[in-house]
Amino acid sequence: MKKLTGFMITLTAVLWIGTVNAQDIITNSVVKIYTVSSSYSYENPWQMSGQSKGTGSGCIIEGNRILTNAHVISNSTFLQVKKAGEAEKYIARIVSVSHESDLAILTVDDPAFFKNSSPIKIGELAQVRDKVAVYGFPTGGDEMSITEGVVSRIEQRNYAHSSANLLTCQIDAAINPGNSGGPVIINNMVTGVAFQSASMGENIGYMVPAPVIKHFLSDMADGKYDGFPELGIKFQDMENPALREKYGMKPEQSGVMVIDILIDSPARNILSVDDIVLSIDGVPVANDGTVEFRKGERTSLNYVVQKKHINDYAVMTILRKGAVRDVRVRLTVNMNSTRLVPFEQYDVKPAYYISGGLVFSPLTKNYLLEWGRQWFFSAPTKLLYYYQNEVRKEDRKEVILLVKVLADEINLGYHDLENLVIVKVNDRRVSTMSDVVKAFEENKGTYHVIEDDTGVKIIIRREAAEKFSQRILDTYRIDSDRSADLKK
């Protein structure tokens, strides 16, 4: 079964919403989702991992659309939906997905599905201590469940599905598998989508809040999803008095210091290292890197940027060498494009290249997940370091791995090699998978020479690799020596 538990469990909560008729309107628009999915193997990137099944929840919104979680339908090959209180299932299809915010839109082409249902409107950001109602189809029964909860905290948190850091609302509700994607209701409107729970503590669940939902719906309105923008900058807090004094900050000024600007940052050549960012779009930045998003409530400064869309502008007030000035940054990249090791990817085939039985692939979180649920503790320490700390640079835009060696007589002595970080192929420094392919295919020497980051060299005869690579592929029943993206 597809796992919608643990970090993929969501919430259940209820609010008395006034009248039976109002509650019936909500109930008639809540949907159970049935998924069949098939994910890719990153250990053997030329094949699939097998089929799995799962269920989730959703609700009908304007435009004959169904709002749910991205993790409910990720890697899906077949989808069905049915409404609460009805028996018939309808075939559904995906309209748009935001893996960053763990949201998705489905639809059903048969108009009969939407009969006797009224779309639920998207409301506003909840207040702390608001009572909420979460509708869904948790395990333990076939009928719809409604349970009660209260909003207890609003802040930026990492989303389990994507690892993206976005605004969330915490609610104290019982958590059960199958509630994923269910609407969280206040005053007959969707204030959030239940999507995950904390593994430690009791009754700690989270919902994707209304502003994030609205951002997704607005983004996809033109038929193309772009994502949440990213500044691509590393900041340092300015809480230490000596640090503030050193960089000429006055007592009434507050902000954070730029300590690195990534190669993909839209602020390159606009901001400089040691600039102090005092405000973004007129919103003051505190010395701890937070902003006030509502009276008496604070969260990360990223919130101000994430409210915008790709290609919007952000006006930043900075302190540079004692002088205050304004700069404009066009937000051209999304939050995953600046990472050296990508967050978890969905519905995307892994990249790979094979020569002489040597299997190369980029390091991704998906690859780390091959070590199981406890991957953070069991995956190789070096690979975890790259995932956590390293950023893209001109000479390294991907971490290239020698994943494994497909044993053959031409690669004797190397059969036990795996998880090596490759830095050079045939005396060329490799930054991307495309560099690896070119380094092999353009080599005219006697040998292929592959070097890892510790200086270990793997040497195979070029002619033997060209002559016997197909034999190796046939032996291991591999259709192609490379992924489709590298055939271009």
Q: Can you give the pLDDT at residue 384?
A: 96
Residues of the chain short of pLDDT 50, as ranges, are: 1-21
Q: Can you give the pLDDT at residue 147?
A: 84
Q: Can you give the pLDDT at residue 5?
A: 36
Q: Can you give the pLDDT at residue 6?
A: 36
* DSSP states along 303-350: HHHHTS-TT-EEEEEEEETTEEEEEEEE--SBTTTTBSS-----S-PP
Query: Domains, the chain, ranges and CATH?
Result: 6-222 (2.40.10.120), 233-330 (2.30.42.10), 353-486 (3.20.190.20)
Q: Can you give the pLDDT at residue 154?
A: 95
Q: Can you give the pLDDT at residue 14?
A: 31
Query: How big is the CA angle at 159 (ends 153 and 161), to the nearest 5 degrees?
Result: 145
Residue 125, both tokens: 């950001």
pLDDT tens-digit map of 243-274: 999 999 999 999 999 999 999 999 999 999 99
* DSSP states along 365-421: HHHHGGG-TTHHHHS-HHHHHHHHH-B-BTTBSS-EEEEEE---GGGTT-TT--SEE
Residue 315, both tokens: 């006006």
Q: Can you give the pLDDT at residue 24?
A: 67
Q: Which residues are catalytic?
A: 71, 102, 180
DSSP type of residue 13: -
Q: Can you give the pLDDT at residue 367?
A: 96
Q: Can you give the pLDDT at residue 201?
A: 66
The 3-state DSSP class for residue 160 equals coil
Rounded to whole angstroms, the Cα distance separating 69 from 430 reads 37
What are the residues whose beta carbons fall under 8 Å from the beta carbon of 175, sequence distance 6 or more?
Answer: 9, 10, 11, 12, 197, 203, 205
Rounded to whole angstroms, the Cα distance separating 334 from 458 reads 37
Amino acid in position 199: S
DSSP type of residue 461: E
Q: Can you give the pLDDT at residue 146?
A: 87
Q: Can you give the pLDDT at residue 23?
A: 63
Q: Can you give the pLDDT at residue 1?
A: 38
Give whole-number Cα distances, 28 to 59, 83, 119, 220, 481, in Å.
Answer: 9, 7, 9, 26, 51
Q: Can you give the pLDDT at residue 175?
A: 57
pTM for the model stands at 0.88
Residue 106, both tokens: 């489905």
